[in-house]
């Protein structure tokens, strides 16, 4: 299952009919492989809202007197991406979403607009800009999109020579678009390496060309591999990509060495390789500010019930499967493994509310922007406490007030028994701390399920659930 991107058409190329980008204007782009939709500005919504413009302080701090600046969110209509886009808008950022809708629906965009419009109305604030580009980020036309948000400006290099360089109106990039199924990655490793690794390398080349160097990467606890099973909360220091000084639990100075241990599947290796590449890129060029956010198990959804996890393909993660059981699409939950060394024999995971994860991205962007994030830095985003699969099921049963039928199955290939985060670094350095509980995750998910059943949308949510 993938998070956002469909297979590339290798024959795709930048069509010759595309206009060349002027350094001073944003060209209108369109071709069969490069759908670009400029959403009507919220000023057109007939409700008296005005869009954010360059008089806003947030934008003018980046480019005084210039066009508005944006955060580019690649894979912005997927599960974590859509919640992050909503949080960015709530914080007043203008957002460019690139998504090919391969694992989500366009209705997600509509729902984001509904939610932010209502929020801004309540607060009496301006509605930030949302530009949506339906596009696979690996297509060559991604470069034209980046160019369309750039201006050519004259600068002076260190030798005192004048040269033309790009200055982008994109002040930060958050990259979610990746395949994410452990099981599928075992069957189709090349597809996973192609998208999650090759796609990333090409994207970084393009961002570098347009001088966009603030980058947030969706990583995963999966990079810790076999270290998960040590039973201790996982610290970022447990996986470094270059030698790094640190203080151990006894207060001694230690030199950490890079080493990957027991990466259990191609998916895990793609995330590990991607992080290692990003660490090398940042070491080679001090202009880069790169943060890798290692997600543990994001669950729950916006309390409105309008956004949630609704993959197009087969659901394989625990909560989407539970959703399908609650809506009657599946008769029962197959519980993978009852003999793990845990309090009830089922695996332990660190479930974290997706809105907490989304807020982590906003803080990481701010940290990068304020200079904290020169180079490469990884942060765990987890709750810091473990919940067994059975406990997660029981909390949802209590909220929904109904039984979830279980079907005891063997361990799933590639699974680990225990995976819990240390949240110390994110708390200290980003000022991030999770606000929501597992009970809140269950309540929000149940709300999403009920809304989905009550009010099926035309784009297939009811089929997908």
Give min distance, CB of 65 to ligand UD1, in A: 42
Considering only the stretches 58-66, 272-280, 327-335, 372-380, report the one whose residues sit in contact with ligand UD1 under the rule CB under 6 A: 327-335
What is the C-alpha to C-alpha distance for residues 384 and 434, in angstroms, rounded to an integer? 9
Give min distance, CB of 44 to ligand UD1, in A: 38
Give min distance, CB of 297 to ligand UD1, in A: 5
Q: What is the dihedral of CA 414, 417, 423, 425, to 10 degrees?
A: -50
Q: Does 321 bind ligand UD1 (CB under 6 A)?
A: yes
Question: Given the complex with ligand UD1, which of 195 and 222 has the nearer CB atom?
Answer: 222
Q: Does 335 bind ligand UD1 (CB under 6 A)?
A: yes
Helix, strand, coil in percent for the chain, rounding step 5:
35, 20, 45
Q: Does 317 bind ligand UD1 (CB under 6 A)?
A: yes
Q: Does 63 bind ligand UD1 (CB under 6 A)?
A: no
Considering only the stretches 188-196, 276-284, 410-418, 426-434, report the one whose residues sit in contact with ligand UD1 under the rule CB under 6 A: 410-418
The residues facing 216 across adjacent strands are 174, 291
How many H helices and E strands in the chain? Answer: 14, 18
Question: Given the complex with ligand UD1, which of 2 and 108 has the nearer CB atom?
Answer: 2
**In sequence order, what DSSP letters do the residues of 181-228 get, joined into one string?**
-HHHHHH-HHHHIIIIIIIHHHHHHHHHHTT--EEEEEEEGGGGGGGG
Give min distance, CB of 413 to ligand UD1, in A: 10
380 closest CA partner among 308, 318, 297: 297
Give min distance, CB of 269 to ligand UD1, in A: 11
Question: Given the complex with ligand UD1, which of 84 and 317 has the nearer CB atom?
Answer: 317
Is 267 considered catalytic here? yes
What is the C-alpha to C-alpha distance for residues 392 and 442, in angstroms, rounded to an integer? 8
Contact (CB, 8 A) for 194 and 200: no
What is the C-alpha to C-alpha distance for residues 392 and 385, in angstroms, rounded to an integer? 13
Give min distance, CB of 363 to ligand UD1, in A: 20
Give min distance, CB of 334 to ligand UD1, in A: 5
Q: Does 347 bind ligand UD1 (CB under 6 A)?
A: yes
Phi, psi (rounded to 5 degrees) for 349:
-130, 160
Q: How many residues bind ligand UD1 (CB under 6 A)?
A: 24
Contact (CB, 8 A) for 348 and 417: yes
142 closest CA partner among 150, 154, 153, 152: 150
- Residue 378, C-beta contacts closer than 8 angstroms, at least 6 positions apart: 219, 236, 239, 275, 291, 292, 293, 294
Contact (CB, 8 A) for 20 and 26: no
Q: Does 336 bind ligand UD1 (CB under 6 A)?
A: yes
Q: Does 234 bind ligand UD1 (CB under 6 A)?
A: no
Q: Does 109 bind ligand UD1 (CB under 6 A)?
A: no
Q: Does 330 bind ligand UD1 (CB under 6 A)?
A: no
Q: Does 196 bind ligand UD1 (CB under 6 A)?
A: no
Strands 418-419 and 348-349: parallel
What is the C-alpha to C-alpha distance for residues 118 and 111, in angstroms, rounded to an integer? 11
Task: Tell me the C-alpha to C-alpha distance, in Å, between residue 172 and each of 50, 94, 158, 268, 365.
Answer: 24, 11, 25, 25, 7
What is the C-alpha to C-alpha distance for residues 165 and 23, in angstroms, rounded to an integer? 10
* Of the residues 129, 260, 278, 416, which one makes contact with ligand UD1 according to CB under 6 A: 416
Give min distance, CB of 3 to ligand UD1, in A: 9
Write the interaction track for ligand UD1 spanning residues 349-388; mark x where CB under 6 A is met and - where it is not: x---------------------------------------
Considering only the stretches 117-125, 142-150, 217-225, 363-371, report the one whose residues sit in contact with ligand UD1 under the rule CB under 6 A: 217-225
Write the interaction track for ligand UD1 spanning residues 267-306; mark x where CB under 6 A is met and - where it is not: ----------------------------x-x---------
Give min distance, CB of 22 to ligand UD1, in A: 42
**Could you tell me the two tokens for 157?**
């290099």
Spot the catalytic one: 79, 105, 267, 319: 267
* Of the residues 140, 235, 412, 427, which one makes contact with ligand UD1 according to CB under 6 A: 412
Write the interaction track for ligand UD1 spanning residues 439-458; mark x where CB under 6 A is met and - where it is not: --------------------
* Of the residues 94, 111, 220, 423, which one makes contact with ligand UD1 according to CB under 6 A: 220
375-381 sheet: strands from edge to edge: 130-134, 94-99, 70-74, 170-175, 214-220, 289-295, 375-381
Q: What is the dihedral of CA 320, 325, 329, 334, to 10 degrees?
A: 80
Q: Does 415 bind ligand UD1 (CB under 6 A)?
A: yes
Task: Tell me the C-alpha to C-alpha distance, in Å, between residue 399 and each of 326, 439, 443.
Answer: 12, 8, 6
Considering only the stretches 66-74, 97-105, 170-178, 415-423, report the one whose residues sit in contact with ligand UD1 under the rule CB under 6 A: 415-423
Instruction: Note the residues at the interface with ligand UD1 (CB under 6 A).
Output: 180-182, 220-222, 228, 295, 297, 316-318, 321, 333-336, 347, 349, 389, 412, 415-416, 419
Residues marked active site are found at: 267
């Amino acid at each position: 299952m993938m998070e956002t991107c469909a297979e590339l058409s290798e024959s795709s190329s930048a069509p010759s009919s595309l206009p060349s980008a002027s350094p001073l204007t944003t060209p209108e782009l369109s071709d069969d492989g490069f759908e670009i939709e400029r959403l009507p500005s919220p000023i057109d919504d007939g409700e008296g809202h005005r869009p954010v413009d360059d008089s806003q302080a947030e934008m003018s701090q980046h480019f005084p007197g210039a066009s508005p600046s944006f955060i580019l969110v690649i894979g912005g209509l997927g599960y974590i991406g859509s919640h992050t886009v909503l949080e960015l808008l709530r914080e007043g950022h203008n957002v460019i979403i690139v998504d090919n809708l391969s694992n989500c629906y366009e209705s997600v965009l509509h729902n984001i607009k509904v939610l932010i419009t209502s929020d801004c109305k309540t607060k009496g604030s301006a509605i930030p800009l949302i530009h949506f580009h339906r596009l696979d980020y690996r297509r060559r036309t991604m470069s034209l999109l980046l160019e369309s948000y750039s201006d050519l400006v004259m600068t002076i290099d260190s030798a005192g020579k004048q040269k033309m360089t790009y200055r982008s109106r994109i002040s930060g990039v958050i990259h979610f678009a990746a395949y994410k199924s452990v099981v599928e990655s075992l069957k189709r490793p090349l597809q996973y390496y192609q998208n999650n690794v090759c796609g990333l390398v090409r994207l970084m080349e393009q961002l570098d060309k347009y001088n966009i160097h603030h980058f947030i990467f969706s990583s995963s606890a999966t990079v810790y591999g076999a270290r998960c099973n040590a039973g201790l909360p996982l610290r970022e220091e447990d996986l470094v990509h270059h030698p790094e000084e640190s203080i151990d639990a006894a207060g001694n100075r230690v030199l950490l060495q890079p080493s990957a241990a027991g990466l259990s599947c191609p998916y895990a290796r793609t995330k590990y390789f991607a992080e290692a590449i990003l660490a090398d890129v940042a070491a080679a060029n001090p202009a880069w500010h790169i943060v890798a956010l290692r997600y543990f198990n994001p669950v729950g959804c916006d309390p409105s019930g309008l956004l949630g996890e609704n993959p197009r393909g087969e659901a394989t993660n625990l909560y989407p499967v539970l959703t399908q059981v609650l809506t009657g699409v599946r008769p029962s939950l197959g519980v993978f493994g009852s003999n793990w060394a845990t309090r009830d024999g089922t695996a332990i995971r660190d479930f974290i509310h997706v809105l907490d994860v989304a807020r982590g991205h906003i803080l990481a962007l701010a940290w990068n922007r304020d200079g904290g994030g020169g180079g490469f830095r990884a942060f765990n985003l987890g709750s810091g406490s473990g919940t067994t699969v059975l406990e997660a099921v029981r909390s949802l049963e209590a909220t929904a007030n109904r039984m979830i039928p279980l079907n005891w199955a063997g361990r799933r290939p590639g699974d680990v028994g225990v995976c819990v985060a240390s949240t110390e670094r994110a708390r200290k350095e980003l000022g991030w701390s999770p606000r929501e509980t597992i009970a809140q995750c269950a309540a929000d998910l149940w709300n999403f399920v009920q809304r989905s059943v009550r009010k099926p949308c035309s784009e297939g949510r009811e089929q997908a659930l």
